[in-house]
């Protein structure tokens, strides 16, 4: 019996790791843009709002990808949507590097966004639907580890390429600029992801919903053994039979009470607050941010590598704690920690003064050594708090908190909200940086973190240890 359990556990972990390759590409695709901003500005002559849209354009695709993948996964399957996302990752990575105009680049970035959006909601949903309740949180948290690993390796890749060539704007190999090679590095993991997906099964809960009970039982029997597999098929079937119709967006509305179901608003709130704390400003504009306070390009990229390494450690902490202390306590700790560290970043930036470069005339924020160190430590502590809490836990909860009947459409709406908020924050940061300054921008993110404390305390409920069939709207 012990041998059987060990094999089953290995199988669960193995197929979870394949699914989380989508998270790795999510992170890599999100982070790679960080080191390419200078090259994009030169290549496409884009400044401020134009540069912001080049970076943020992917997020329009993310919003659409998350929204449509959630619904399409109810029709065609979780794994099928992951396969489509893998193909889009490949096309986007190649196209972004070969683009010759801002418009062409934006098209390819939107395609990449569709892939990221689909993977962001499908990977945690898939993992939640195949994982045992007792360590579902830990397995779903691997998704966030994959995301930060993707970010880390994109930062590391960008840094090494710039060290080799001297600048993201310089020509590297075959007469192509370095920033183009930064995008092409993504082709390798994208190809591995696509191939690996053909070796994992479809979600058993999707198979039951499609009246393919025998196939679902085969998958669940391989995961948990024949007896448990058969029982789980019956449980899933019973939970879906309560509604007696195919999932649709109408299921998000409570006809008796005449309003949207509370669980939908909680999902939207979790999705939006994860972005309103400003984390993706660090992910997408980290190099720009640190150059704005006086660091050179290579030093700014090296700080990104440090932040990526700290993120990995933080998510491992979340993995160890999420199934022990629960989801809600981690969210509260993260919100409080981010509120404090963001406030310290604001204090540091407020103390600086704008100094013009004697050659270019461009202004940058100059901090004293003490305040520069405070900003560096506080910003990285903020990243640690985020990745030990809201980073993984939000995705864990979205993947498990919705009842079976509305999981796909619930994820669609929450995913749309998450990426819509991400787009808003990312698009506005260059404008805020150029007009109101870093201190004002980070003050807004601090307010978002503070409000999230009260949101979690009042509206979020614990899902630790519950079977998916126990989730209610």
277-286, pLDDT tens digit by residue? 988 776 555 5
Can you tell me the distance from the alpha carbon of 453 to that of 234, in angstroms, rounded to the nearest whole number? 39
pLDDT tens sequence across 344-364:
988 988 876 666 556 555 555
pLDDT tens sequence across 199-211:
888 888 888 878 8
**pLDDT of residue 48 exceeding 60:** no
Instruction: Please indicate whether residue 114 or residue 173 has the higher confidence score (pLDDT).
Output: 114
Can you tell me the distance from the alpha carbon of 247 to that of 260, in angstroms, rounded to the nearest whole number? 15
**pLDDT of residue 39 exceeding 80:** no
| pLDDT value of residue 246 | 63
**pLDDT of residue 450 exceeding 90:** yes
Cα distances from 447 to residues 336, 338, 438, 441, in angstroms, run 11, 10, 14, 10
The pTM of the whole model exceeds 0.75: no
Instruction: Please indicate whether residue 308 or residue 275 has the higher confidence score (pLDDT).
Output: 275
The confidence band for 119, taking pLDDT boundaries of 50, 70 and 90, is: confident
**pLDDT of residue 160 exceeding 70:** yes
Cα distances from 360 to residues 287, 355, 357, in angstroms, run 19, 12, 6
**pLDDT of residue 335 exceeding 70:** yes
Considering the chain, what percentage of its residues have pLDDT values greater than 70?
78
Can you tell me the distance from the alpha carbon of 461 to that of 315, in angstroms, rounded to the nearest whole number? 21
The residue-averaged pLDDT of 329-343 equals 95
Instruction: Please indicate whether residue 183 or residue 166 has the higher confidence score (pLDDT).
Output: 183
Mean pLDDT of all residues belonging to the chain: 78
Instruction: Please indicate whether residue 144 or residue 324 has the higher confidence score (pLDDT).
Output: 324
Q: Kindly state the tokens that stand for 49.
A: 């709002």
- Give CA angle at 84 (249, 205), nearest 5°: 50
Residue 253 pairs in a beta bridge with 260
Q: Which of 395, 469, 312 is nearest to 122 (CA)?
A: 395
| Residues comprising the chain, all counted | 473
The residue-averaged pLDDT of 181-203 equals 89
**pLDDT of residue 273 exceeding 60:** yes
Instruction: Please indicate whether residue 447 or residue 229 has the higher confidence score (pLDDT).
Output: 447
Can you tell me the distance from the alpha carbon of 386 to that of 277, in angstroms, rounded to the nearest whole number? 9
Q: Of 32-36, 105-109, 265-269, give the range with the top mean pLDDT.
A: 265-269
pLDDT tens sequence across 408-443:
788 888 888 888 888 888 777 777 766 667 788 889
Q: Which of 186, 191, 200 is nearest to 123 (CA)?
A: 200
The confidence band for 337, taking pLDDT boundaries of 50, 70 and 90, is: very high
| pLDDT value of residue 295 | 65
- Give CA angle at 341 (271, 337), nearest 5°: 60
């Amino acid at each position: 019996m012990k041998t059987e359990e060990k094999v089953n556990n290995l199988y669960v972990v193995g197929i979870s790791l394949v699914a989380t390759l989508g998270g790795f590409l999510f992170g890599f695709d999100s982070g790679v843009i960080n080191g390419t901003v200078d090259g994009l500005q030169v290549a496409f002559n884009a400044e401020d709002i134009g540069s912001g849209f080049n970076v943020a354009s992917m997020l329009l695709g993310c919003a659409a990808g998350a929204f449509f993948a959630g619904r399409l996964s109810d029709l065609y399957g979780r794994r099928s949507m992951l396969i489509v996302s893998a193909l889009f990752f490949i096309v986007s990575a190649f196209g972004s590097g070969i683009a010759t105009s801002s418009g062409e680049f934006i098209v390819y970035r939107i395609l990449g966004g569709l892939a990221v959006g689909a993977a962001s909601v499908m990977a945690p949903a898939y993992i939640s639907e195949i994982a045992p309740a007792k360590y579902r949180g830990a397995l779903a948290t691997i998704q966030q580890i994959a995301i930060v690993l993707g970010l880390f390796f994109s930062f590391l890749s960008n840094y090494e390429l710039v060290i080799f060539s001297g600048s993201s704007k310089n020509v590297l190999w075959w007469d192509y600029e370095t920033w183009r090679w930064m995008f092409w590095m993504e082709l390798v993991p994208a190809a591995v992801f696509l191939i690996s997906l053909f070796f994992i099964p479809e979600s058993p809960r999707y198979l039951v919903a499609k009246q393919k009970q025998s196939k679902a039982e085969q998958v669940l029997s391989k995961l948990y053994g024949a007896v448990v597999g058969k029982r789980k098929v019956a449980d899933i079937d019973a939970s879906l039979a309560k509604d007696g119709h195919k999932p649709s967006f109408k299921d998000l509305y409570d006809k008796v009470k005449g309003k949207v179901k509370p669980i939908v608003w909680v999902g939207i709130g979790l999705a939006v607050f994860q972005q309103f704390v400003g984390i993706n400003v660090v992910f997408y504009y980290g190099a720009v941010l640190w150059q704005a306070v006086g660091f050179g390009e290579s030093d700014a990229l090296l700080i990104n590598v440090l932040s990526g390494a700290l993120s990995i450690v933080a998510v491992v902490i979340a993995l160890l704690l999420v199934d022990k202390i629960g989801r809600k306590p981690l969210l509260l700790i993260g919100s409080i920690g981010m509120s404090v560290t963001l406030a310290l970043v604001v204090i540091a930036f407020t103390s600086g003064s704008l100094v013009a470069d004697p050659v270019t005339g461009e202004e940058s924020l100059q901090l004293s050594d003490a305040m520069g160190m405070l900003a560096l430590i506080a910003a990285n502590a903020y990243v640690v708090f985020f990745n030990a809490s809201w980073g993984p836990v939000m995705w864990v909860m979205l993947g498990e908190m919705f009842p079976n009947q509305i999981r796909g459409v619930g994820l669609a709406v929450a995913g749309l909200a998450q990426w819509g908020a991400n787009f808003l924050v990312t698009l506005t940061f260059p404008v805020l940086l150029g007009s109101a300054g870093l201190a004002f921008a980070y003050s807004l993110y601090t307010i978002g973190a503070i409000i999230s404390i009260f949101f979690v305390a009042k509206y979020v409920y614990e899902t630790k240890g519950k079977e998916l069939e126990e989730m209610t709207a």
